[in-house]
Chain A
Amino acid sequence: EVQLVESGGGLVKPGGSLRLSCAASGFTFSSYSMNWVRQAPGKGLEWVSSISSSSSYIYYADSVKGRFTISRDNAKNSLYLQMNSLRAEDTAVYYCASHGMLGSYFDYWGQGTLVTVSS
């Protein structure tokens, strides 16, 4: 069974930093591109960042470029998101999600971790 388990969310002040983690199991993690997708309270879904299977290709949404850094450790079956210079508008549930085999849809999702940016 595929499992993605996020951790690291919490309350942080504007301008602060936070590092999210996603532990993967039940599939060959090193073969799949991985992603972070977020959802602000009561709002829709927003793609945040993607990383290819070997970390060769990395992409960010314009809204987080220069502030967030995605990374992965295939030996540990783990995905990370380092979030710096956090803003109130970054408040959201952050989901870790894997790409499908046949395209960049998101076939498996974690349960999410809530990041709240507030003074």
Chain B
Amino acid sequence: EIVMTQSPATLSVSPGERATLSCRASQSVSSNLAWYQQKPGQAPRLLIYGASTRATGIPARFSGSGSGTEFTLTISSLQSEDFAVYYCQQYNNWPRDTFGQGTRLEIK
């Protein structure tokens, strides 16, 4: 099983600042990586797929980068609605997809 490790577990950032979230795979997943945002009581929402392609309707302040085993989600200027939990998911080993444990982005 490919293990996905996200860091940090919790990130405290002020509105308007940049947030950088990391995701590491235990073995190469090429560019088959997605990022999701989940707010309390809501379903996850797809943000990024293919490591760097924004999903439909996702604002340009969200960007993804990386390949192989190291990936980053960057939110360039945090808005109040961006404070949530973020998950990465590898789908290189489908159907054995695996998710990271999540990073909670909180207001500083």
Contact = CB atoms under 8 A, between A and B. Distances in A.
Contacts of A109: 43-46
Contact of B102 (A44, A102, A106, A111): A44
A26 interface: no
B49 A103 contact: yes
Interface of A is mostly: strand
A46 B99 contact: yes
Interface magnitude class on chain B: 20 to 34
Contact of A59 (B46, B55, B95): B95
A115 B44 CA distance: 18
A44 B3 CA distance: 13
B43 A110 contact: yes
Contacts of A108: 46
Contacts of A105: 34, 46, 49, 89, 91
Interface in A63-119: 95, 100, 102-112
Among A50, A100, A102, A112: residue with most chain B CB under 10 A: A100
Interface of B: 32, 34, 36, 42-46, 49-50, 55, 87, 89, 91, 94-95, 97-102
The 10 closest A-B pairs by CB, nearest first: A59-B95, A105-B34, A109-B43, A104-B94, A104-B91, A105-B49, A45-B99, A47-B97, A107-B46, A44-B101
20 contacts: A44-B87, A45-B87, A45-B89, A47-B95, A47-B98, A50-B94, A50-B95, A59-B95, A95-B43, A102-B49, A103-B32, A103-B49, A103-B94, A105-B49, A105-B91, A106-B34, A106-B44, A107-B49, A107-B55, A112-B43
